[in-house]
């Protein structure tokens, strides 16, 4: 498998979070992602979970009622849903990596079974581990000449559905933490006792992300729920549009990250409308917005771009590139948004209902006119 490497001294990682769609995909997202690849020219794409709306694979098209179908039929629906987003990097020859989110595993299939779909793509660079560690792995990034490792990308699974209990869990297990500690130690030994600079990608954020919010008066708040009013903390860049919904338990993972000493950022999705960056313990915490148009979102739908320089991998630039930057502000782009965005559903059907009613009225008026002429 070809190495992930810097390209002429630069590395551009495109994060796509919460694509969260079905085999009947809303094509506005695909247009946005195609444009992101074309305009931003990433060297690697990282899908950070909720890649599909896995708990709705059996739904009827215009209803949440479930169809009766075999596991084989459901699996093919899953394959089709994933193909919408995976075909984009595959066609363009862009390496990609993936982790699971809480919606990915809420169906009939294990993580290993889903991973077989990813592994069937030539541009896949992940999912080496199986069993309990499926979805948790490490990606090394090499220099432009491919001779020297410069970065580690830690991909951490944070959610799964227990089929026997029919229950979703969102935490990092002790086994994952032990794996991370052992892998971290191995990497330090290979690098003369020093950690590689690295990023951690996960779907559901750590509890530490809540440190970048603070309670405030109702007038200052950007988020209010259960008589709690929140705004982003001082020094935090970006937008807080909903409460942070973190892991229930990380089983000491954050302490293991601090002990590693090389992690420069912890990147998450999950909270669709949050889009901010804060810093704690020398680590940037990056909350990225959703790409999905099928599920709830806001005007900050888009992708996140991380840019590294080969000569200084301890620093990086990151920014959200929004839909209107990628697709423009013209009437076609606006119509696409209106047609596909989840929050526009009621308005869309109201408009369609109005058009239908207008057509009926006009048709009736025309028929009456003919009758009067007779």
pLDDT by residue, tens only, the chain of 374 residues: 789 999 999 999 999 999 999 999 999 999 999 999 999 999 999 999 999 998 889 998 877 788 999 999 999 999 999 999 999 999 999 999 999 999 998 888 989 999 999 999 999 999 989 998 999 999 999 999 999 999 999 999 998 878 778 777 899 999 999 999 999 999 999 999 999 999 999 999 999 999 999 999 999 999 999 999 999 999 999 999 999 999 999 999 999 999 999 999 999 999 999 999 999 999 999 999 999 999 999 999 999 999 999 999 999 999 999 999 999 999 999 999 999 999 998 777 667 566 655 555 656 555 545 644 54
CATH T-level topology, domain 4-340: Purple Acid Phosphatase; chain A, domain 2 (3.60.21)
The closest of 61, 45, 47 to 11, measured between CA atoms, is: 45
Please report the pLDDT score of residue 185 as a whole number: 98
What is the spatial distance between Cα 362 and Cα 374, in angstroms, rounded to a whole number?
A: 19
User: What per-residue confidence (pLDDT) applies to 362?
Assistant: 59
Q: In what order do the strands lie in the sheet with 302-309?
A: 96-99, 44-48, 10-16, 302-309, 312-322
Tokens representing residue 347 in the block: 């308005």
Q: Could you tell me whether strands 4-5 and 167-169 are parallel, antiparallel, or unpaired per DSSP bridges?
A: unpaired
Q: What is the pLDDT of residue 345?
A: 81
Q: According to the model, what pLDDT value does residue 69 have? A: 92
Please name which of 118, 66, 67, 72 lies closest in space to residue 95, comparing C-alpha atoms: 118
DSSP E strand stretches across 29-126: 44-48, 96-99
Compute how many other C-beta atoms are within 10 angstroms of the C-beta atom of residue 7.
13
Domain spans, the chain = 4-340, 343-374
pTM of the prediction? 0.92
pLDDT, residue 85, reads 98
- Quote the tokens at residue 207: 């509890």
Q: Kindly compute the dihedral angle of the four CA atoms of residues 340, 342, 346, 352, in this order, to the nearest 10 degrees.
A: 10
Dig out the tokens for 238 from the structure. 């970006």
Q: How many residues are recorded in the chain? A: 374
Measured between alpha carbons, how far is 230 from 236 in angstroms, rounded to an integer? 13
Q: Measure the CA–CA gap between 180 and 136, rounded to whole angstroms.
A: 9
- The sheet with strand 283-287 has its strands ordered as 4-5, 137-142, 149-156, 197-202, 263-268, 283-287, 275-280, 237-239
What pLDDT sits at residue 162? Answer: 80
How far is 231 from 213, CA to CA, in rounded Å?
6
């Amino acid at each position: 498998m070809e190495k992930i490497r810097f390209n002429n001294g630069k590395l551009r990682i495109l994060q796509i979070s919460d694509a969260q769609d079905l085999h009947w995909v809303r094509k506005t997202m695909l247009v946005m992602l195609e444009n992101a690849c074309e305009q931003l020219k990433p060297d690697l794409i990282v899908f950070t979970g909720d890649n599909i709306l896995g708990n709705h694979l059996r739904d009827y098209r215009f209803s949440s009622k479930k169809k009766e179908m075999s596991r084989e039929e459901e699996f093919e629906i899953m394959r089709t849903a994933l193909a919408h987003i995976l075909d984009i990097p595959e066609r363009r020859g862009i390496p990609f990596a993936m982790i699971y989110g809480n919606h990915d595993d809420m169906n009939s299939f294990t993580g290993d079974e889903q991973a077989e779909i990813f592994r069937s793509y030539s541009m896949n660079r992940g999912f080496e581990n199986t069993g309990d560690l499926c979805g948790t792995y490490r990606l090394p990034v090499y220099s432009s000449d491919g001779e020297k490792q410069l970065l580690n990308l830690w991909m951490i699974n944070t959610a799964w559905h227990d089929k026997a209990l029919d229950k979703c869990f969102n935490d990092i297990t002790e086994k994952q933490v032990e794996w991370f500690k052992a892998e971290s130690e191995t990497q330090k030994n290979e690098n003369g006792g020093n950690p590689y600079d690295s990023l951690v990608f996960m779907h559901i954020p750590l509890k530490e992300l809540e440190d970048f919010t603070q309670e405030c008066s109702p007038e200052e708040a950007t988020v209010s729920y259960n008589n709690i009013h929140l705004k982003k903390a001082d020094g935090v860049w970006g937008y807080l549009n909903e409460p942070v919904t973190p892991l229930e338990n990380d089983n000491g993972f954050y302490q293991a990250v601090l002990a590693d000493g090389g992690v420069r950022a912890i990147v998450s999705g999950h909270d669709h409308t949050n889009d901010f960056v804060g810093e704690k313990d020398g680590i940037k915490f990056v909350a990225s917005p959703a790409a999905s148009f099928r599920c709830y979102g806001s005007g900050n739908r888009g992708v996140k771009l991380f840019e590294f320089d080969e000569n200084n991998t301890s620093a990086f630039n990151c920014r959200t590139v929004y839909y209107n930057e990628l697709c423009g502000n013209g009437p076609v782009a606006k119509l696409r948004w209106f047609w596909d965005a989840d929050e526009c559903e009621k308005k869309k059907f109201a408009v369609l209902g109005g058009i239908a009613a207008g057509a009926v009225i006009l048709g009736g008026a025309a028929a009456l006119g003919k009758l009067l002429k007779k």
